[in-house]
Amino acid sequence: MTGTAEEIYPSINPYVSLALSIFLSFQFVGGLYLFSSGNRDNPFVIKRRFQSVFVSCIISYIVLYYLIPQSSQRVYVFLQVIGVMTESYLWGIILPFLLTMLLFSGPLLMAYLDYGIEEEPFDLRWLRNYVVGPTVEEVVYRSAIVPILYYGGYSTRSIIIFSPLLFGLSHLHHIFPMGKKRREIIAQLLVSLLQVLYTSLFGMFTALIFVRTGNLLSCILVHSFCNMMGLPRFQDVPHHPHSRLLSITFVLGLVGFFYYLPLLIHPVYFNSLFI
């Protein structure tokens, strides 16, 4: 690749970078809010939301593309920046996925032992939860917003913390359900705050993966897997027939995750643009 980094990669004013990140976040959620009336599992609502998030992804990529300086390598640089053209592509998928499976080793064992668990039907809800949702969220919040903040001069640590917080805070629109009583609104507030915490922490993990590997597909697969697993059923462990085995597995999985986190996604393996 010819040309210096200053000539072919974006250079964005920090305030513009921050403003664009906030704009892209809320135009994504704003589109969902437009179609929030009625049952969110209604096929018509799901299809309209699909259209909305696809438009949001296109807008996000258009904004990012035009921030890249014009050159003969502009398209290639764009594909690099969004996490499509990366070095060590296969390892960038395998290692983070193994790390995520280690984190969920307890829930995975529980799912294996509870062989009577029903599988979800393949329908629009399945497509939303495990394909479209993870893909569009990672496109906007990792593949677009992370590079915009990075080329705005923000440190990778601040990006890993701030970009997921944008997505977490965007869930606060659930606090204001239409036609709800005060007590129901307070209950919804508590649920929304828990959702903000959970989505922010999870977003920090996938943001770390994107920064370390520069691999968009890795983030999507990890996100989809975590959606399939859902929140671990800690409350069921004490009453499970294999409670001792599950307790050990849950603890070892969590300890192993934090032990291997800096090893399995070490920057030396991936040569990411963002390190």
Average pLDDT of every residue of the chain: 87
CA atoms within 13 A on the CB side of 273: 24
For the ranges 27-36, 202-211, 227-236, the one whose mean pLDDT is highest? 202-211
* Residue range 43-92, pLDDT digits in tens: 888 899 999 999 999 999 999 999 999 998 999 999 999 999 887 889 99
Distance, CA of 88 to CA of 215 (rounded, Å): 9
Contacts with 190 (C-beta within 8 Å, 6 or more apart), sequence order: none
Distance, CA of 224 to CA of 21 (rounded, Å): 23
pLDDT of residue 271: 87
% the chain with pLDDT above 70: 87
Say whether pLDDT at 155 is over 90: yes
Q: What is the mean pLDDT of residues 100-106?
A: 95
Say whether pLDDT at 99 is over 70: yes
Band the pLDDT of 178: cuts 50, 70, 90.
very low
Contacts with 257 (C-beta within 8 Å, 6 or more apart), sequence order: 99, 102, 103
Say whether pLDDT at 164 is over 50: yes
Distance, CA of 101 to CA of 107 (rounded, Å): 9
Q: Which amino acid is at 165?
A: L
The residue with tokens 């070095």 is 87
% the chain with pLDDT above 90: 58
pLDDT of residue 255: 96
Question: In the chain, what are the domain boundaries?
Answer: 5-269
Band the pLDDT of 5: cuts 50, 70, 90.
low
Give Cα 92 to chain centroid, integer Å.
16
Q: Which residue has the higher pLDDT, 226 or 184?
A: 226
Q: Which residue has the higher pLDDT, 19 or 169?
A: 19
User: Which H or E run contains 212?
Assistant: helix 182-213
Q: Which amino acid is at 274?
A: F
First to last CA, the chain: 18
Q: What is the mean pLDDT of residues 228-233?
A: 85
Say whether pLDDT at 123 is over 90: no
Q: What is the DSSP letter of 117?
A: P
Distance, CA of 261 to CA of 275 (rounded, Å): 16
User: Which H or E run contains 22?
Assistant: helix 14-34
Q: Which amino acid is at 69?
A: P
Q: What is the mean pLDDT of residues 132-146?
A: 96
pLDDT of residue 37: 64
Say whether pLDDT at 188 is over 80: no
Band the pLDDT of 15: cuts 50, 70, 90.
very high
CB 164 within 8 A of CB 204: yes
